[in-house]
Structure formats: structure tokens, C-alpha cells
Amino acid sequence: MKNLSTGTGLNHAVRVTVAALSVVLGLGAAVPAHAQCPGDVIPSGAVNGTDLAELLATWGPCTGCAADIDVSGSVDGNDLAVILGAWGPCSPVITSILPNTGHTSGGTQITITGNYFSGPATVTLGGVPATNVQVANATTITAVTPAAPAGSVDVVVSVGARILTVASGFTFSSVVPGTVRAWGWNGYGQCNVPTDLGTCTAIAGGFYHTVALRTDGTVRAWGRNDYGQCNIPTDLGPCTAIAGGDYHIIALRTDGTVRAWGGNFYGQRNVPTDLGPCTAIAGGYAHTIALRTDGTVRAWGLCSDGQCNIPTDLGPCTAIAGGELHTIALRTDGSVRAWGYNNLGQCNIPTDLGPCTAIAGGVYHTIALRTDGTVRAWGWNGDGQCNVPTDLGPCTAIAGAFNHTIALRTDGTVRAWGWNGDGQCNIPTDLGPCTAIAGDGLHTIALQR
């Protein structure tokens, strides 16, 4: 043991595992479950004196000071410092690459997550170097993808002298980012995306129509048009958001004003003159909802079930959504409120829901995305639309339709469940990762990234 203190007992090229440390220290207990790499226990990214304190807290002091390396008479941080001269930093590891798909033209910024990154790094995809490679910190490397043919390629990351390979870690696709896809019932052509649509930044659905917001801020719509819901006003101007009612469309213009067109049998497209600038919009069967810049909510149109009666104690909100005959709001504290038609419990917020980041409405059910990425749904469940799949995993967005529910997972994949009589829950095999989802009637819409 004294040889270790002089540095002659171990060569600097030798790697010693945490399990080996228990032998060196004369401790017979099992390796702690939280040990991250050779010797690094806390974890810090390198073996240091604090690691020994962590080991002692787990294993307890040695008998007869068998672990005393520096002959101090007790086991302390200096002992591990002696061993540190033989070990060195932990080996880098990769845990994820996001996004893991991008266009064949290149230019997709990817984030490589892992641990123990340090110093300069290089990244290649299918043997072609990425550009703008940056080691942001010990857990993050960013890079921009090169141009490459369509298909999956290996991602190779060189960090110092270490070379890490993620087999098929990235997929190049010829699909243009911002492409709209739609599937399900297509009786009015609502799933026939116009070939000249171009790239888009947002999507929305009506009961039998589809709406898209193009990158230049213009709005397009297609599908059923018996109330003129697909006839975009010529003086609309550029917009920042869109929403669909069953037979009408709502748009939020860049100046914060709201416009609506299409069916108006309950005054759902009659925007109040005193509405003022808004930040979000939503639609129900025949009512329209707006979130004003001060966080207050307004609603108009059909109010037979109180869906336009804003609760006096609602307080400021950050998001709104509409069901067929009910209204949903997300308050600034993350709590959810709902009001209107409630014969199927769609307005009964679960007491254990907790804080949320997004909300959505189906015809007679309500969906919420919790802060941990999990999805909850309640209300009418006749077709299983409230039965969230147990293997869904964390999500970033949710949407509701007539009797099915849609979720966008953190990896960009889309899942849908509930009524599937028209294939609205059958995700196209060539869809690829998406940035947005929508639904309303019997179809599903996605925006590819």
C-alpha cells in the first residue's frame, strides 16, 4: 500500500474500476448503483477527493484502516488523491442525438448529449464532417449537419483521443421541413394537401377542413367549403397563428388583431370590437376563444352551455383550447380550468393533475400535457380516446379531435389513439419526426420538421 503513495505501484495508463477500488481500499461491499464511470462516484466527470467521501458514506469506514494509503492513520480524501495520480478523467459517453433526422440538404443543428465531454471535438455523419462543432459543456456538443443522400448514417464523435460511434444515429430525409401531412377520413378532400402549399409553420383542423400557416405568414385552407371557411379573406395580411372551429376559421394577425370567417350561425366569427390585441386563439363547434395580451380570456358565439362565460376567478392564463361545447384554459401557475358542457365530465379537472404546459380539447374530452411530459385525458371515453398508452413516453404537444387523441413525442414521432374507423390513428410509416400536430373531425394533421 505504501508503494501507491509514492506513485510507483500503479502506472498512469492503467484504468481502475470502482469495483477495484473496493479491493484497494479493503472494503468488501457492493459497488454503489450510482457509480458513473471508473472511480467517479459523485459523479463529477473526473475522479476526485469527494468521491472517496461518497464511497465511505455508502460503505462505511474500513476495519483496521486497510484503506489508508497515505499512512495518515485514517481514511480521508487524501487517500483517493494518491490513486487519482494513476487514474485520470472518466471516458466520454453519448446518450442521445436530437433531432436525429434532417433534410438531405444539410443545415440541421443537432445536440449531442452525454457526459465527460472536454476539449475540442469533431463530428462526422456518414463520414462527412459536420460544421460549427461546439463543446458547450461537459454534457453537450452542438453541430450542424452536412448535405448527404437520404438514409440512416453512423454518427462519429471524436473527443480528445476518444472516438465514439452511434450506429445509424442520424437519418437524412428528402422531405422538406415544414411539409404538411394529413390522413384519415377524406370525404371533402381535407387530407389532400395542395401541391403548391410550400413550407409552413403551423397547422389546424376544422371538422371537415384543414388550415395551414405558411412561412411567409399567409394562410391556406382546403376541404369542405360550404360556409366559405376555406375562402381566405383577401385583406387578411400576414398572421402568426391559426385555429379551426367546426365550420369556421380563426387567424391571429401579426398586429395582434383577430379575424374569423366561415359559418356564423351563432356569431362565432363576429370578433368583439373591444377585444384588443391577443396572443392566442382557439375554436369550438360554434364559438371562438381569444387570449388577450394581458392574460385574460374572451369567448363569443354559441354559449348555450356556458362555454363563453369566463369564470370571474379565472385569473391570467397562458394558453386556451376549445372542445365542441366547452372551453379550456391554462393558468399562469400551470393549473387547468374548463367550463361549458359537462355531461360527460370533460370539465372535471382531475384533482391529481398537477401543473401543465399545454391543453387541448376533443369533442367531448379534454387533454393536458403535464410538466413532466406525461399526457392525461378525461371526459367521454367511448372509443378509448382518454386511454393514454402506457408506453407513450414524454411528449411536447397534444391535440384533440372528434373522438381520437394525438400526441407528439419528444423524439418527434406522432401517436394517436381512440376511434380509428377511418385510419386517423394510423401514423404513416414515412411520416418522420414532426414539430406540430392537429386534429378536429375524423382526420389527423402533422407538420414535418
Provide the CATH number for the domain around residue 396. Answer: 2.130.10.30
Q: Residues 79, 68: contact at Cβ < 8 Å?
A: yes
Of the chain, the percentage scoring pLDDT greater than 70 comes to 80
Q: Are residues 57 and 129 in the same domain?
A: no
Q: Residues 314, 294: contact at Cβ < 8 Å?
A: no
Provide the CATH number for the domain around residue 107. Answer: 2.60.40.10
Of the chain, the percentage scoring pLDDT greater than 90 comes to 69
Residues forming beta bridges with residue 123, ordered by sequence position: 157
pLDDT level of residue 62 (50, 70, 90 thresholds) = very low
Q: Are residues 397 and 308 in the same domain?
A: yes
User: Which cell is 400 given?
Assistant: 384533440
pLDDT level of residue 319 (50, 70, 90 thresholds) = very high
pLDDT level of residue 52 (50, 70, 90 thresholds) = low
Q: Are residues 98 and 216 in the same domain?
A: no
Is pLDDT at 27 greater than 50 in this prediction?
no
Is pLDDT at 25 greater than 70 in this prediction?
no
In 348-403 the beta strands, taken as DSSP E runs, fall at 356-361, 365-370, 375-379, 395-400
* Residues 219-238, mean pLDDT to the nearest whole number: 97
- Residue 6: per-residue pLDDT: 33
Q: Are residues 106 and 36 in the same domain?
A: no
* Choice between 336 and 41, residue whose per-residue pLDDT is larger: 336
Domain final residue, candidates 30, 60, 84: 84
Q: Are residues 343 and 386 in the same domain?
A: yes
Domain final residue, candidates 58, 84, 110: 84
Least confident stretch, 56-60, 161-165, 298-302: 56-60
- Residue 79: per-residue pLDDT: 55
Q: Are residues 150 and 299 in the same domain?
A: no
Q: Residues 156, 176: contact at Cβ < 8 Å?
A: no
Q: Are residues 38 and 137 in the same domain?
A: no
Nearest Cα neighbor of 18 from 8, 359, 43 is 43
Q: Are residues 353 and 243 in the same domain?
A: yes
Q: Residues 319, 280: contact at Cβ < 8 Å?
A: yes
Is pLDDT at 283 greater than 90 in this prediction?
yes
| pLDDT tens profile 160-192 | 778 899 999 998 887 777 899 999 999 999 999
Q: Are residues 310 and 394 in the same domain?
A: yes
Which DSSP string do the residues of 21-40 spell out, in sequence order?
HHHHTT--SPPPTT--BTTB
- Kind of pairing, strands 365-370 and 248-253? unpaired
Domain final residue, candidates 140, 173, 206: 173
- Residue 74: per-residue pLDDT: 57
Q: What pTM was estimated for this model as a whole?
A: 0.69
Distance CA 206, CA 280 (A): 17
Grid cell 371526459 in the structure block, residue: 379
**3-class secondary-structure state, position 342:** coil
The residue range of the domain holding 303 is: 180-448
| pLDDT tens profile 373-421 | 999 999 999 999 999 999 999 999 999 999 999 999 999 999 999 999 9
- Residue 99: per-residue pLDDT: 83
| Mean model confidence pLDDT for the chain | 85
Give the highest mean pLDDT range of 72-81, 109-118, 120-129: 120-129
Instruction: Give the chain's domain count.
Output: 3
Distance CA 31, CA 43 (A): 14
- Residue 63: per-residue pLDDT: 42
Is pLDDT at 10 greater than 50 in this prediction?
no
Q: Are residues 115 and 70 in the same domain?
A: no
| pLDDT tens profile 70-113 | 556 555 555 554 554 444 456 788 989 988 888 888 998 999 99
Q: Are residues 77 and 114 in the same domain?
A: no
- Residue 221: per-residue pLDDT: 98
Q: Are residues 162 and 190 in the same domain?
A: no
Q: Tell me which H or E stretch contains 55.
A: helix 49-59
